[in-house]
Structure formats: structure tokens, C-alpha cells
A and B are shown apart, each in its own frame.
Chain A
Amino acid sequence: MTNLLWTMFHVLVFPGVLFCVVIGVLLAGLDRKLVARMQNRVGPPLLQPWYDFLKCCGKETIIPRHARRSLFLAAPVLGFAALITVALFVPVLSCSTYSTSADLVVILYLLTVVGVSMIVGAAASGSPFAGVGLSREMVAMISYELPFVLVILAVGRMAGATTPLGVTFSLQAIVDWQAANGSMLFHWSMIPAALAMLFVIPCEIGMHPFDIAEAETEICEGTLAEYSGPPAGLFRLTHCVKMYIMCALFCAMFLGGISTGYAALDALVVVVLSVVITFVTMSVPHAVCARFKVEQVFKFYWTVVAGLALISLILVWLGL
């Protein structure tokens, strides 16, 4: 019974729904505020994403005639649920709920499920704008997948080199290795991979210079074009939570091992680190760059970013 209660607690409070939503909303709000300040605007209040969500929840849900009703409504829920499941697997520094069954490939695929649920929802809406949006979303997914995979393999080799198998995919093993040998980021051969991962984060989330799938000015928010009411709010919330998840994943992969010994304090450290990562990877590019073209995103990720990750992978493979 206590086991069940603990599971409920993990799913609903920490590190599940409540924690993710709170931190995600704060990060998204902070991002908007920072971008506004950099562009010499006042910007919305910090909790604006939360107000947006609440407002969406109070609105009517309109289902277009061409839509496939059940999928159209189920997609946001499924995507959000898959994302929260990722949150349960990603260790918050030393503290993680289900880390023994956490695996980088599984996390990669769960993040894919989040993207796919958005795509399926868009497809089910039947709108041509959503059709264009989902195709772009898919191109973005192909784009960041290659560098992401290369980073995962580099990290897996680095952490697994001393094990009998020579490699590992287990997130727990990676965190343990960092606790013993210092963070990944402080091994010089992993710095290109860390840079590549920092580039992967905004594209995975769909932040501004890489938000080809949602380009408001061209295709009316693409995948979200037909969504209204609570489902739209849930998609926006998913977007916020994804910001936190990706930052936490970066911390686990590259900044693990800096534990304070207290779970609450660890969580706080991760939050602070997330803010820094958000500022570096999302706010600054958002404020300075114009949106990429579709084919530019693909080219950028498969040459520059994948190249960075590949350098690390080769260096690690050479034992450096």
C-alpha cells in the first residue's frame, strides 16, 4: 500500500506532474521575459504561460469537421503522459525514481512518442496547415535525431569503457560513472558532444530559430492550427514541460555527479542549472536569430551539429 502511495506521489508530485509543470512553466515564463528584456521590451509576467494555460482551459473545444475526433482529443493527453513518464526516468542529480530501468534509448524513443503524438494530433485535425506543420515537425525530428544518437553513443562509450561490455546505455550507470570520475562536461573530449547536445535541445523543444513546425507567420502555428480549448492548453503545457525535461536530461548526461547529498537541494541545483541552460540555448538564439528555413535546419543539424558529436564519439573511441 505504501508502495502504491509512493508511486502515486512520484507520478503526481515529484518528479512527476506537479514538479514538472511548475518548473516548466517558470522556465517558459523566464524565457519569454529574458527574450523581451534582450529586445528592449517589458515582456509578459513570469507566470504568463500558466495564465495562457488557464485561459485555454476555460475556452470551448472546437473540433473541425474533417477531424478524427477521438485521436484529435487523445493525442495531447498521450503526448503529455509520455513526457511525464520521461520525467520519472531522468535522474535529478543523485535522486531518481525509476533510474534502474532508465535507458538512454528508451528516453530517446519516449521523446519521439511525444513528437509523434503531436504529429498524429495534427494529422487527425485534417487541416492542410497542420499537414504542412507535421511534415516540418518530422523533418525537424530527423534533423536532431542524428546528432542526438551520436551524443548518446559517445556518452555511453565514455561511461561504459571500464565495464566488461565496454559500453552502456543505462542512465544510472552514466550518473554513477560521473560520480566516480567527475562530470562528463569536464572531460575535454566530451565538450563537442555537450555543445551538440546544447544545439539539440532547442530543436527538440521547437524553440524559436528552429520552430519551423509552428511558424505562426507562414502556416498559422502548423501542428496546432486547429487546436482550441483545453487540448491546445495541454499542448502548450507539454511544450513548457519539455523545456525542463531536456535541461534535466542534459544535467544527467553531462553534469551528473555533482551531488549535494540532499534530494531537495539536488532538485534546486538542477533547477538553477536548467535556468542557465534555458538562457544559453533558448533565450539568446531566440532573441538574436531569425527563423531558419526548413532545409537549412536539416543541413545545419546533419553537418555542423552531427559533426561536433562525431568528433566526440571518435575521440572517446580512441580512448581520449
Chain B
Amino acid sequence: MYDFMYHFPVLAIMVLFLGAFIASLVGRRNAVIRNAVVLIAMVTSLVLILSLVKPILLEGQTITYWLSNWEPVGDWAIGISLEVDALSLFFALIVVVAVFVSGVYSFFYMDRDDSLVNYYTLFSMLSGSVLGLVLSGDLFNMFVMIEIMTFTAVALTAFRNTYEGALEGAFKYLVVGSLGSTSVLIGIALIYSQMHTLNLAQLAAMLPGYDSPVTIIAFAFLFVGFGSKAFLFPFHPLAADAHAVAPASISLMISGVLTKCGVYGIIRLAYTVYQNVDVNVMNALKSVCNPMNANFVQYFITGVGVVTMFICVTMAFNQHNFKRLLAFHSISQVGYVITVIGLGSALGLSAGLFHAMNHTIFKGLLFLTAGAVQHATGSLDLDELGGLSKKMPGTCALFLIGAASISGLPPFNGFASKWMIYQAAFQKAGETGNFFFVVVCVAALITSVLTLASFIKVAQSVFFGQLNPKFAKTREVSLGMRIPMWILAILCVVTGLFPDKVQQWLLAPATSAAMNAAGYIDAAMGQGYAASFSIPSFQPQSIFLSGAWQPVMWLLLLVSVTLAVCIVALLGSDDKAPAISETNTDTPADPKYESFFSGEASVYSQVGGSDLFWGFKHNWRHYFSFMHNWHSGVVNDYTLYGAAAIAVALVLCVIFL
């Protein structure tokens, strides 16, 4: 690694903030210059982060950068630092790619809005703050970045303030989000009062041996705080309100990037700083004799993840708004990530990171298609839309790719990561002999099929079925909006087809970095510092898969079978497939040839999106009515749930740790 590369992380953050300021200075007059400034900032940070892939992810180096060269003196790291190991860079990669896609999409998607200079300023600040958060080497800077992130996100949520509910959604996000930020701040204050330092590396060295109830309480506060940034249960209603009204490009940022910050925070906290997730396989094997011996934090994190993923997927069944539905699914998928992170095995963490990455890709794609539908029709109402596949074939294809990915259908990336998730959960169950992890595995599999059902509902309500006459003049969105979507769609397929390469180049280094607390400490504080606090050095773990999945081979088989079927089909019949109605679509319909059997004239009879799965919902009506009452939409209630979450986390941590 060249010396000048040590400056790359800070430069990548700085260009985005600089982009924000320059865009606001020059952008009021000239839209082209403003867009150019934002584009240059995004591309520069993308290139800077990509150039770090080789030294950090592939060669396993760690960059520690002390701002103003305030290096630690006498074992005390007081200066501001950036510490970039493979885990940080993994999340930074997710961030810069998502920012780039979202930014390019914005140029075309936001063309009908005014005061765009505010939008791009806030957008760049949001991007910079998120990147700063994942690259930061001390806890307080993480908090500062969280604050910038939350407030810019709130402002961007309300950017289209003429929308019904925009201000309301933003207000809820502001109030309850502040509760989460405050929780983080309290946690930091408690830690600082005990440890007198906020540098992550130094904390990682000192905390594990420091047996104090105060730091345990701090963990509870920090966990709830970061959890609220990932919209974990019970903070999930916020996400729905915010996503429904935010511009689609911002929905991509909130679901694809902001939630990842919460995930990153929890991983960093539980694995590196507190090291209270049991990463040692031998311990896990020992606990076969005594199933209750497994670590409490693992149960806690996994439990929160399972509850999140299941409640959110069932909530999605009741939604009438395209983006609200996507929002609940977004949180449900984050629930998957949190679930496997809690397992504490190398396979689990790899699966979690993989799913986090895939979640950004396919969820971003789905939000962008929702944005395209909104841009083309002006509506997001599932009960109103319908039959758009003929008007917007490209968007429809993209949506189907995204839907197949999130539902975990092979050969897309959602399957590859979910498949690892099932194995991680089931292997954990096998190793510990604990039935809890079997329930986790079943919940994950069932959530997956419910996700599929939910997306079938969207496909049927928006793209298939009959075209609402209201939208007869709808046109496909511009190429500039479709290209970012195609980038994400191609990523969906590529990461789904080559999961072993993703594992080798991205996941394995990031997983090792997350588990290698000693390496993280030594990189910042000097060689041997971790050993002086008796932090065990890192033992690389190999990953065993209890199943087998070779996507490329499978795809080859599928293609050859498809070819075989097509050949047989072609030989078997003169398949001209004449479409009788293709030629005369403009002429008034002859009722005889309508797509009704009875020969009656066709009326617009959309099957109501929310009632599509009546047979399923009828059996669960008590659960759904309970959920309906529980998600009251009142910000007071949501704040109460947040406060209750903090209280419960405190009580549990104090009792069990």
C-alpha cells in the first residue's frame, strides 16, 4: 500500500461534505454545475473507496488515520481517528455504491421538483455522514455522524412536503429518532465516565476485562440506540411512515444505507468493542452438555431479529401503499441480518454481511421501481394501480428481478444469502442442541414464503391484472432512471450466481476483521497493546456448509433444460402463437373476445390488493386486528414503545450479564 493511500478514507468523507457546501454555493443559479459538483463528489468517493479494496479487503491491512496527527500519547488515544479495517470498508463499499446509484437516479427522478439545491446539499451531507460513521475510529464521532445522518434524513423525508403525511412522517422520524440518538449519547457518556476514553480500539482493549454494571447498562443503551437507527422492533413503524412519503432515491438511502449503519454499529459493538458475542467455536461445542450455557447477548440479538423479521413481514400484508409495503419488508430483511449476527458463528456473520449487502441491492432496486411507478403514474396506491406491465415493460422486468431476489428465489442473490442464513441458524441449533435456534430457522423460512406472497400481491396489484383506465396514457420512464435500476438488477444476478467469489473477496475478510478484536486494537494502539490487556489473539475459523448449492451449475442445468423443453415444444407443434387481439387494440372491444369467459363486457375489476390473501388473513384476523390497533400511528405511542424498549433492554442486560 502506498503512503498516500492512508489519506483516502478521510478524503472520501471530505469530498462528499465539500460537495454539499459547494453545491449550495453555486447551485442556486445553475442546475448543471450543481449536478456536476454532486456527481464529481460521488464518483470521487466511489473511486477512493474502491481503490482501498485491494490493500484492505484482499491483503488484510488496516488503515488508522489520526486527524491532525494527534496520535495516542502514553497509551491514551484522545485524538480523532479513522480506523478502516475490512469490516468498515465492506460497509463503506455498500454506502458509496448505493449513494452513487441513488444520486444518478435523483438527477432524472427529481426533475419535477423545485428547490433542488437543498435536496442535493442534504443528500451529499447524508452520504458523507454515513460514510464517516462506518469509517470512524471513535465512538463520539460515530454519534456526531449519527446526528447529521438523522437530521438530514428527516429533512429529506419531508422534502416533498406537499405530499399528504410528509411532515407527519418526518416529525415521527424526528421525535423517535432523537430518542434513539439520545440513547446512544447516554451510552457514550456512561462509557466515558468509566473508561475516560472513547477511542474504539482502546475501549475494545479495556472493556472486556472491566466488570462493571455501568458499562453493561451502557451496552443496553448503545444497542437500543443503534437498533433504532436500523429500525428494529419496536422502532419499525417509523420506517413505514418515513418511506411512504420520502422520494424514492431517499427511500433507497434510508433502507439501503441508514439501516446498515445500525447493523454496523451493532456488529462493531458486540463483536469488537464488548466482545460479548461468543465467537469461539470451541465454547459453542462445549455448551452442548449444557444448552443454557450459551451467551445471553446472542439470544437477545437473535430474539430481537426474529421478532422484527416476523412482525414486519406480517405487517406488510395489510399495506395499501406500495412504498409502505416495501418499507416493512426492508425492516423484515434487516431482521434477518440481525438474527444471524446474533448467532455469533463465522458462518452466521458471513451470512449476515452477505444479506446486508444484498438487502441494499434488491431493496434499492425495488424502491427505485416504486419511484419509477410513482414518477410515471403519480400514484402508489395498490388498490388503484394495475396492469402497468404493458405500459412499463422494462420497469416490470426490473421489479420481478427485485421481487424474486427479496423472496429468495434461486438463482438471485437473495437466495444465496438466505440459504446461508438457514444453514447458520440450523448449524447453531445442531451445535448447541438448543431448540430456540430451530425456531429461528423455521421463522426465517416462513418469513421468506410470506415475503414471496407479499410480492406476488404487489406484482398482481401494480403490474398485472387489468389496466386502470385512469393510467391508460402512462409511459415508460426515461433511460436515465432505468440505468441505475439495471445496475442494481445486474448486481442482483451476479452476486447470486457467484456467491463463492463474494465470500472469498468480501465476506471472509470482513468476517475475520469483525472477529479479530486483537488485530483492531493493535492496528490503532501499537503492536502488543491487546496482549497487555489479555485480549486473545484471533483464530481464523473455517466455514462448513451443511448443504450444497452450486448456482452456476444449476443455471447451466436450467438453461439446458429450458432449451430442451423449447426444442421439444417447437418440434411438437406449429407454435405460431397468434394473438388475436394484438392487431386491433385500438378498435372498440368486441365483448365476445374479452378476457372473460362469460362473454360479458370487461369492466375494471381489480382484485383488491389488500384482500388478495383472504384465506390466509381470515385465519389470522385476531392477530391482524391486534397489530392494527397496536400500530396506532400516534407519535406518543411510538415514543412510548421506544422508551419501553430501552427499559426492557436495561432490565434484561442487568439481570443476565
Q: Which of A's residues lie within 8 Å of B, judged by CB?
A: 7-8, 11-12, 16-17, 57-58, 60-69, 71, 73, 77-78, 80-82, 84-85, 88, 98, 100-106, 108-110, 112-113, 116, 119-120, 123-129, 131-132, 134-136, 138-139, 141-142, 145-146, 149-150, 153, 156-157, 160-161, 163-170, 172, 212, 220, 225-226, 229-230, 234, 293-295, 297-299, 302, 313-314, 317
* Interface stretch of the complex, out of B76-84, B106-114, B464-472, B486-494: B464-472
**Residue in A58, A98, A142, A220 whose beta carbon sits within 8 Å of that of B449 in the complex:** A142
Kindly report which residue of chain B lies nearest to residue A4, judged by CB atoms.
B560
CB atoms of B615 and A212 under 8 A apart: yes
Kindly report which residue of chain A lies nearest to residue B544, judged by CB atoms.
A165
Known contacts A17-B564, A105-B422, A124-B464; A63/B581 CB under 8 A: yes
CB atoms of B459 and A120 under 8 A apart: yes
Tell me how far the C-beta of B369 lies from the nearest C-beta in chain A, rounded to whole angstroms: 16
Kindly report which residue of chain A lies nearest to residue B400, judged by CB atoms.
A120
Q: List 16 A-B contacts (CB under 8 A).
A: A57-B572, A65-B585, A65-B594, A68-B393, A68-B463, A84-B564, A104-B547, A124-B389, A127-B595, A132-B607, A164-B544, A165-B544, A166-B427, A166-B429, A169-B423, A317-B438
**Residue in B429, B466, B582 whose beta carbon sits within 8 Å of that of A126 in the complex:** B466
Known contacts A102-B548, A145-B446; A298/B408 CB under 8 A: no
CB atoms of B561 and A85 under 8 A apart: yes
CB atoms of B561 and A169 under 8 A apart: no
CA distance A165 to B429 in the complex (A): 9
In the complex, B4 has a CB within 8 A of chain A: no
CA distance A163 to B579 in the complex (A): 57
CB atoms of B585 and A101 under 8 A apart: no
CB atoms of A168 and B547 under 8 A apart: yes
CA distance A211 to B420 in the complex (A): 33
CA distance A81 to B566 in the complex (A): 10
Residues of B within 8 A of A12 (CB): 564
CB atoms of A131 and B442 under 8 A apart: no
CB atoms of A295 and B546 under 8 A apart: no
| A interface SS class | helix
CA distance A81 to B569 in the complex (A): 12
Residues of A within 8 A of B572 (CB): 57, 230
Contact with A along B425-468 (1 / 0, CB 8 A): 01101110101001001100110011011001101100111110
**Residue in B400, B463, B546, B595 whose beta carbon sits within 8 Å of that of A226 in the complex:** B595
CB atoms of B615 and A295 under 8 A apart: yes
CA distance A88 to B564 in the complex (A): 14
Tell me how far the C-beta of A108 lies from the nearest C-beta in chain B, rounded to whole angstroms: 8
CB atoms of B616 and A142 under 8 A apart: yes
Residues of B within 8 A of A297 (CB): 615
Known contacts A85-B558, A128-B466, A168-B547; A67/B595 CB under 8 A: yes
Tell me how far the C-beta of A164 lies from the nearest C-beta in chain B, rounded to whole angstroms: 8
CA distance A299 to B593 in the complex (A): 39
CB atoms of B426 and A109 under 8 A apart: no
In the complex, B589 has a CB within 8 A of chain A: yes
CB atoms of B589 and A131 under 8 A apart: no
In the complex, B636 has a CB within 8 A of chain A: no
Residues of B within 8 A of A64 (CB): 581, 595
Residues of A within 8 A of B553 (CB): 98, 101
CB atoms of B546 and A142 under 8 A apart: no
Known contacts A85-B554, A101-B553, A128-B605; A170/B560 CB under 8 A: no
Tell me how far the C-beta of A171 lies from the nearest C-beta in chain B, rounded to whole angstroms: 9
CB atoms of B445 and A145 under 8 A apart: yes
Known A-B contacts: A170-B547, A298-B619. Give 9 more (CB < 8 A). Answer: A17-B565, A57-B572, A67-B595, A106-B548, A116-B452, A126-B465, A157-B430, A160-B430, A166-B433
CB atoms of A63 and B450 under 8 A apart: no
CB atoms of B546 and A165 under 8 A apart: yes
CB atoms of A17 and B573 under 8 A apart: no
CB atoms of A149 and B465 under 8 A apart: no
CB atoms of B452 and A112 under 8 A apart: yes
**Residue in A60, A113, A165, A299 whose beta carbon sits within 8 Å of that of B619 in the complex:** A299
Residues of A within 8 A of B554 (CB): 85, 101, 106
Tell me how far the C-beta of B584 lies from the nearest C-beta in chain A, rounded to whole angstroms: 9
**Residue in B547, B557, B582 whose beta carbon sits within 8 Å of that of A85 in the complex:** B557
Residues of B within 8 A of A101 (CB): 548-550, 553-554
CB atoms of A11 and B557 under 8 A apart: yes
Residues of A within 8 A of B607 (CB): 128, 131-132, 135
In the complex, B274 has a CB within 8 A of chain A: no
CB atoms of B548 and A66 under 8 A apart: no
In the complex, B631 has a CB within 8 A of chain A: no
Known contacts A128-B607, A145-B446; A65/B593 CB under 8 A: yes
Residues of A within 8 A of B453 (CB): 138-139, 141-142
In the complex, B538 has a CB within 8 A of chain A: no
Residues of B within 8 A of A57 (CB): 572-573
Kindly report which residue of chain A lies nearest to residue B390, judged by CB atoms.
A68
Tell me how far the C-beta of B274 lies from the nearest C-beta in chain A, rounded to whole angstroms: 28
CB atoms of B449 and A145 under 8 A apart: yes
CB atoms of B619 and A68 under 8 A apart: no
CB atoms of A135 and B396 under 8 A apart: no
Tell me how far the C-beta of B411 lies from the nearest C-beta in chain A, rounded to whole angstroms: 10
CA distance A119 to B607 in the complex (A): 15
Kindly report which residue of chain A lies nearest to residue B616, judged by CB atoms.
A139
**Residue in B393, B438, B595 whose beta carbon sits within 8 Å of that of A153 in the complex:** B438
Residues of A within 8 A of B435 (CB): 314, 317
Kindly report which residue of chain B lies nearest to residue A169, judged by CB atoms.
B547
In the complex, B362 has a CB within 8 A of chain A: no
Tell me how far the C-beta of B248 lies from the nearest C-beta in chain A, rounded to whole angstroms: 23
CB atoms of B456 and A119 under 8 A apart: yes
CA distance A120 to B389 in the complex (A): 12
CB atoms of B409 and A166 under 8 A apart: no
Residues of A within 8 A of B438 (CB): 153, 157, 313, 317
CB atoms of B561 and A16 under 8 A apart: yes
Residues of A within 8 A of B2 (CB): none
**Residue in A58, A88, A100 whose beta carbon sits within 8 Å of that of B573 in the complex:** A58
B435, B450, B619: which has the most chain A beta carbons within 10 Å? Answer: B619
CB atoms of A81 and B408 under 8 A apart: no
Tell me how far the C-beta of A50 lies from the nearest C-beta in chain B, rounded to whole angstroms: 12
